[in-house]
Amino acid sequence: MKRPFVRRALAGMAITLLVLAGCARPDSDAGAATASAPITPALIPAPATLQVGEGSFVINADTRLSATGEPATRVARQFAAYLQSAGGPALAIADADGKNGIRFVLETGNAAAASPEAYTLDITPDGATVKARDERGLFYGAVTLWQLATQGDKGGVTLPALHIEDAPRFAWRGFMLDPARHFQTVDEVKKIIDAMALHKLNTLHWHLTDDQGWRIEIKQYPKLTEIGGCRIPAGDGGKDPKTGEPRPYCGFYTQDQIRDVVKYAAERHITVVPEINVPGHATAAIGAYPELGSIDTPLVPSSEWGVFPNLVNVEEPTITFLENVLGEVVQLFPGTYVHIGGDEAVKDQWEASAREQARMSQVGAKTEMDLQGYLVERLEKYLTGHGKRLIGWDEILEAKLPPEATVMSWRGIEGGLKAARQGHDVVMSPSNKTYLDYLQTASPNEPPGRPALITLQDVYAFEPVPPELEESQRHHILGLQANLWTEHTRTFARLQHNAFPRLAAVAETGWTPAAKKDFADFTRRLPTQLKRYDAIGLGYAKTPFEAMIATEDDRKAGTVKVTLSNPLGYPVHYTTDGSEPTSTSKAFASPLDLKLPVTVRAAAFAEGRALAPAATFELTPAALLTRTDEAMAVCPDAGRLLLRLEDDGPAEGERAIFNATIFYPCWQWNQADLDGIASIKVRAGRIPYYFQLAHDEPHRTFEPAKSPLGELEILGGGCKGHTLASVPLPAAPGADGFLDLDAPLPAGTAGRQDLCVRFTGDTRPQMWVLDRITLQPR
């Protein structure tokens, strides 16, 4: 499309609506008075033990830090920097211990007593002391103290006397970042690293290669980034708006930048695990060096999403190429693990390739999966020879797997169970619990992504150690990891929205003892965490903290029934006179029967503070006749892949967003009241169809077109019901990229029924999408 459609709030929709919220930064100056009452600790992740004692200790601009030795001094400086970056006082490091200060103590004795990440924190009226036997533990103790110190005003805080003994539950507490689809700058990666550190996460999985881009400089093979590092986005996003010429999307990290990021992460006790994905997700690599491919068709880095058929071959020159690549990778990443992918490698090209079939015979592979297993075995042997361990997605279990290989279980937990029982170490990362590109609420204000919800509650409830796993094998569960794929995450602001606060739930699962996890208590502590996010400028999602409204209208009576809620269960206060709701406004308790027209304003509150700006809903008879695509239901037979898709233009700035099911594109307004309705107006848009479905392609269906360009069809009684209207489609939308169609209803159409809206014909490489539907009275 040419221009984005800026959506206006449609107040009276008979489904849930939400508004984005923001939390204001504290307004106090650095010299403000210290809080007079001790704060109530609100730590995320919750520590293993916390005991509150008698008395209190004040941290303010006069507080001094002390540390002995380079590691402890380093941690003290990090604490001071983090505190100041959150708007707290600038604290100096003194040369010697003193009363009324903060001491960082590294105890080198008793090295076998606890985890290297363990620490103790003692706060007394005489001061605060962080102790640990390893710098990692000392750092995490400093993070805990930072969280406590940021609960006050910028000028200072009064802390209660307390004693904390703490250590993580799991050794692997990870987050995966995907720059292959949409690129993050070095500064953006560092911002994520800092946020991870302040959540006590310790592993950054860096997904550096995929079909859409190769993002790491390999000096022996410069075309990997020269060619593989660029693609032409689909549609208007891939055109220069002034000239119409192709507009490439490029980006990669130089080796110096890689070293810089790895060093920055290590200083914050985060290990970076690189991923070089083979044999699938390899289109960018094959586009750069065609001899790597399994077919002779030229390829370029793709602007589409999904599962591609393109695999590297498994011949000796390709294995040498991969070993050479890994040879440079292992020099850049000092951590133990290198990830080799192994997922979604559709074997069609190998099955059709005489060369690969001959190679199977040569290496003794009975199946194409065995051939992938042979490749994994060769790469594992190479990595082991360089002091590294191989980790891959759970598909690598489908062939014989070297004993030392580690499995990352993403297709549920079953792969992790199987791997642990075979004696392999496992990182649990199931897509239905820990994938952060899935939407977190039903809000129309959610950015593009996969609308199947993975809420904050879902993430928090995930247990990485399945109860059915035998006790003798549970030590193989190294921990858990959240993954954020960026097909639909075009901006860094959206990446932060998708990650936070759900990554806080991942952090608590990874750190806190299972018996101490409590979601109600987590949500009690969460508003304080949001204040920390505001203080450090972290762009977390506001949608879980919005006020939500659902309506049921009675047009004949001129009334509406209103239900208010919040996705996380925070209490909602409201007004109906247009005024700003406060914590003393009426609290919603039961559905409201209101006379139309009416203005409802609502906000969710915690500790007397609105968690988001008030949602304003102008409920009028006219507004109740319109629904946007987000407010429409999915047709029962629409298939399993509902996506929240972004328009293809403009190249920069905001774009329209649409909910669409790509397996069977249709939308349904359940129980629409058609009494007195003469016609239905549909506003539609058209965007590129940019999906590779591999073996799922046969499941995609569409209704046959009855005219050359297809039709808009309106059906009553659902998508298997009777046709109420059919309007031929034009060749193209209007100049703004949208199209308004009016569909008259047959005389006598009345009553409540499920309205189905769909477009006929296979229109690829384009697809029609619904923007909104309006019932037009007689």
Could you identify the residue written with the tokens 């065995």? 370
Q: Which of 724, 725, 716 is nearest to 756 (CA)?
A: 716
CA–CA gap between residue 228 and residue 257 (Å, rounded): 18
Letter for the amino acid at 669?
Answer: W
Q: In degrees rounded to 5, what are phi and psi of residue 499?
A: -80, -40
Q: Which of 5, 50, 303, 39 is nearest to 151 (CA)?
A: 39
The active-site residue, picked from 126, 165, 315, 344, is 344
- CA angle, residues 372, 377, 378, in degrees to nearest 5: 100
Paired strand residues for 216: 253
Contact 576, 599 (CB under 8 A): yes
CA–CA gap between residue 723 and residue 518 (Å, rounded): 51
Estimate to the nearest angstrom the gap between the alpha carbon of 474 and the chain centroid: 28
The active-site residue, picked from 153, 166, 178, 210, is 210
DSSP annotation of 210 reads E
CA–CA gap between residue 53 and residue 244 (Å, rounded): 69
The active-site residue, picked from 205, 207, 269, 281, is 281
- Annotate 522-591 with three-state secondary structure: HHHHHHHHHHHHHHHCCCCCCHHHCCEEEEEEECCCCEEEEEEECCCCCCEEEECECCCCCCCCEECCCC
Q: Beta 752-759 vs 711-716: how paired, if at all?
A: antiparallel
Q: Beta 92-94 vs 64-67: how paired, if at all?
A: parallel
- CA angle, residues 702, 708, 711, in degrees to nearest 5: 50
Letter for the amino acid at 411?
Answer: R
DSSP annotation of 34 reads P
| 475 catalytically annotated | no
CA–CA gap between residue 340 and residue 322 (Å, rounded): 10
3-state secondary structure of 757: strand
Q: Beta 305-306 vs 738-744: how paired, if at all?
A: unpaired
| 163 catalytically annotated | no
| 637 catalytically annotated | no
- Cβ–Cβ contacts within 10 Å for residue 755, how many? 27
- Cβ-Cβ contacts under 8 Å for 464 (sequence gap 6 or more): 170, 428, 477, 479, 480, 509
DSSP states of 392-405: EEGGGGGS---TT-
3-state secondary structure of 388: coil
Contact 694, 306 (CB under 8 A): yes
Letter for the amino acid at 448?
Answer: P
Which residues are marked as active site? 210, 281, 344
